[in-house]
Amino acid sequence: MALVTSKELMEAAAKEPVYAVGAFNAVNLETAQAIFTAAEEARSPLIIQFTQTSLGYTEVEGWVSVTEELIGSILSLARRASVPVAVHLDHGRSEEVAARFMDLGFSSVMIDGSLDEKGKAPRSAEENLAVTKAVVEKAHAKGISVEGEIGLLGQVGEEIPITPELEEKLSDPTKTAKLLDETAGPGYPGWPAGLTRPDEAAQFVEQTGLDLLAVGIGTKHGVYKGKPFIAHGLLQLLREALPVPLVMHGGTGVPDKDVTQGVQEGIRKINIDTQMRIAFYSAINRVMGEMNALHNLADITGETRKYDIRKVLAPAREAVKEQVINRMKVFGCAGRAF
| Residue span 156-195 as binding mask against ligand G3H, x where in contact by CB under 6 A, dash where not | ----------------------------------------
272 near ligand G3H, judged by CB under 6 A: yes
* Residue 326 φ then ψ, to 5°: -55, -45
Instruction: Give me the residues that bind Zn ion (CB under 5 A), please.
Output: 249, 271
CB contact at 8 A, 321 and 24: no
273 near ligand G3H, judged by CB under 6 A: yes
How many chain residues are in contact with ligand G3H, going by CB under 6 A? 14
d(CA 304, CA 297): 10
249 near ligand G3H, judged by CB under 6 A: yes
The only residue of 275, 319, 320, 324 in contact with ligand G3H, by rule CB under 6 A: 275
d(CA 215, CA 170): 14
323 near ligand G3H, judged by CB under 6 A: no
Rg for the chain, CA atoms, rounded: 21
| Residue span 115-154 as binding mask against ligand G3H, x where in contact by CB under 6 A, dash where not | ----------------------------------------
Q: Rounded to the nearest whole angstrom, what is the least distance from the CB of residue 19 to ligand G3H in the complex?
A: 18
The only residue of 5, 107, 145, 274 in contact with ligand G3H, by rule CB under 6 A: 274
251 near ligand G3H, judged by CB under 6 A: yes
278 near ligand G3H, judged by CB under 6 A: no
Q: Please, which residue, 52 or 128, has the CB nearer to ligand G3H?
A: 52
d(CA 322, CA 338): 22
Q: Return the number of other C-beta atoms located less than 10 Å from residue 207's C-beta.
A: 12
Q: Please, which residue, 112 or 180, has the CB nearer to Zn ion?
A: 112
94 near ligand G3H, judged by CB under 6 A: no
- Applying CB under 6 A, the span of 32-40, 74-82, 225-233, 244-252 interacting with ligand G3H comes to 244-252
Binding partner of 251, given ligand G3H, Zn ion, none, CB within 5-8 angstroms per partner class: ligand G3H
Cα of first residue to Cα of last residue in the chain, in angstroms, is 9
d(CA 215, CA 270): 11
Q: Can you spell out the DSSP letters for 177-207?
A: HHHHHHT-STT-TTSPTTS--HHHHHHHHHH
Catalytic residue check, 90: yes
Query: What contacts 205, CB < 8 A, 6 or more positions away?
Result: 148, 213, 242, 243, 244
Catalytic residue among 90, 112, 258, 273: 90
d(CA 117, CA 101): 15
Binding partner of 22, given Zn ion, ligand G3H, none, CB within 5-8 angstroms per partner class: none
90 near ligand G3H, judged by CB under 6 A: yes
Max Cα distance, the chain (Å): 76
Look at the alpha carbons of 206, 5, 109, 160 in this order and tell me if their dihedral is positive or negative.
Answer: positive
- Applying CB under 6 A, the span of 160-168, 227-235, 271-279, 329-337 interacting with ligand G3H comes to 271-279
31 near ligand G3H, judged by CB under 6 A: no
Write the burial class of residue 25 (CB in 10 Å: 0-12 exposed, 13-18 middle, 19+ buried): buried
d(CA 230, CA 218): 5
Active site (catalytic) residues: 90
Binding site for ligand G3H (CB under 6 A): 25, 90-91, 221-222, 249-252, 271-275
